[in-house]
Amino acid sequence: MVKVRGGECSAAPLHQAARRGQLAVVKWLYEHSGCIILPRAMDEAAACGHLDVVQFFHEKGGRESKCTAMAMTGSAVNGHLDVIKWLHTHRDEGCTSDAMDGAASNGHLDVVQWLHGNRNEGCSVQAMNGAAKGGHLNVIKFLHEHRNEGCNYNAMDWAACENHLEIVQFLHENRSEGCSRSAMDGAAKHGHLSVVRWLHTNRSEGCNRVAMNGAALSHLDVVQFLHSNRLEGCTTAAMDNAAEHNRLDIVQWLDEQRREGCSMRAMNRAARNGHLEVVKWLHDHHPEGCTTDVMDAAAEGGHLEIVKFLHENRGEGCTAYAMNAAARNGHLGTVTWLHANRAEGCTTTAMDGAAANGHLEVVQFLHDNRTEGCTTRAMDGAAARADFAILEWLQKHLRTGPTAQASLFAVAHDHIEVLHWIREHFSSTLVSTEDLYGTARYYGRVHALAYLEGNWELSV
């Protein structure tokens, strides 16, 4: 750690060490760096279960060693009972009802029991709701027997959605809040057929069309059950969803058994995700077709075979976004094919994106074969990634340099080598020394601060 000119060090390094439980680092920073200690430091140490760090801050109470109710609350949420007990004995900030709510949601029964027996903040309906969602039946039973906050219909809804049938049954038999249609909707979407069947047999809330729509994402057995046993049906979203997730079997079943069909989103989404067989089937069997979005999306994902199929069999075409996105994601094969076979071309966004994401071969191809070029965003993006191969190539082959953002990106990401390189080659683009120091302090970038201390004089 460096002693920075012009003020104290950012609190970020000390808080990071506290959060990680690095007591030796915390002690050193406290004694040598002048780091600001805010209540968040003890709060985060407590929430992460680092009792020794919490005790250190408490012992050094002469220098803003404070915490908030978030210390005990965070400890409870994460199940650190030893920290909770210590804070209860030695501090007076207490906690909030979020403590028991969070402990219950995460299944920390011992914490819930201790808070119930030793503190009076209590909880809210979110305690049992969260425990139901998390599958913690033992916590639910304790809350049901010892607390009176209860729950609401979200408890059974969430339990059904997460496939916790035993909890659904317990709530049904022991409580009166019931559920909503979201229970069966969610269970169907996630493929929990046993829960769907139980709700269908034992509850009267039913479901909406979103149940079959959601099940069509991947669960043919649930789709078939709903089709055979319920009347809500589905919408075009069902086949759209199945196409998006490469479930050609569900697409075909819906086509044979139901009449809703699909929308243009079916082929668009299938193409975006690289599902060639689904694209071909939709092309042959459904006239809904697609838009230019489909080839754009296929190119973005590097799905060249789909791009070729659409080019050869359909007339929608694409836009410049196709090559721009393919370049940004490093799909050189797609970029070269679009260049050779389509006329839409690209914009400067193509090379900017390729450079920012480290795709040197794409940058080189665009430079050698196209005329759009790039903007300052290319070098700025490469600087943020500390990609010297691209930085040096851009410097050698193009006239476009970085902007002031490049030096700020370098400092923000602690890339001191990049900052040094920019200073050597593009010093006129550097921001003020004060801004560099300020950025390094704000993000707690200790290496950048050390480099600036040794190489830059801060103006007075």
Confidence tier at 36 by pLDDT (50, 70, 90): low
pTM, whole model, 2 decimals?
0.84
Assigned domain for 52 exists: yes
**Six token digits for residue 314:** 């359909």
**Measuring CA to CA, which residue among 280, 283, 274, 320 is closest to residue 301?**
274
Distances (CA, A) of 450 to 5, 6, 363: 11, 14, 34
Annotate 276-337 with three-state secondary structure. HHHHHHHHHHCCCCCCHHHHHHHHHCCCHHHHHHHHHHCCCCCCHHHHHHHHHCCCHHHHHH
Query: Which of the two residues, 234 and 12, has the higher pLDDT score?
Result: 234
Assigned domain for 84 exists: yes
Tell me what the mean pLDDT of segment 275-288 comes to.
Answer: 93
Treating both helix axes as pointing N-terminal to C-terminal, what angle do 276-285 and 304-313 enclose, rounded to 10 degrees? 20
Assigned domain for 3 exists: yes
Query: Which of the two residues, 28 and 180, has the higher pLDDT score?
Result: 180
Assigned domain for 33 exists: yes
Assigned domain for 16 exists: yes
Number of domains present in the structure of the chain: 1
* Tens-place pLDDT, residues 133-185: 999 999 999 999 999 999 999 999 999 999 999 999 999 999 999 999 999 99
Assigned domain for 45 exists: yes
Assigned domain for 444 exists: no
Residue 349 in contact with residue 324, Cβ under 8 Å? yes
pLDDT of residue 225: 99
pLDDT of residue 38: 75
* Tens-place pLDDT, residues 423-458: 899 988 888 888 888 888 888 888 888 888 877 765
For the chain, give the mean pLDDT.
Answer: 93
In CATH, what number is assigned to the domain containing residue 88?
1.25.40.20
pLDDT of residue 10: 59
* Tens-place pLDDT, residues 193-220: 999 999 999 999 999 999 999 999 999 9
Range(s) of the domain holding residue 78 = 1-95
Confidence tier at 63 by pLDDT (50, 70, 90): very low
Tell me what the mean pLDDT of segment 248-267 comes to.
Answer: 97
* Tens-place pLDDT, residues 103-120: 999 999 999 999 999 999
Assigned domain for 1 exists: yes
Distances (CA, A) of 238 to 135, 232, 298, 408: 29, 13, 21, 47
**Measuring CA to CA, which residue among 34, 9, 32, 41 is closest to residue 438?**
9
Residue 419 in contact with residue 451, Cβ under 8 Å? yes
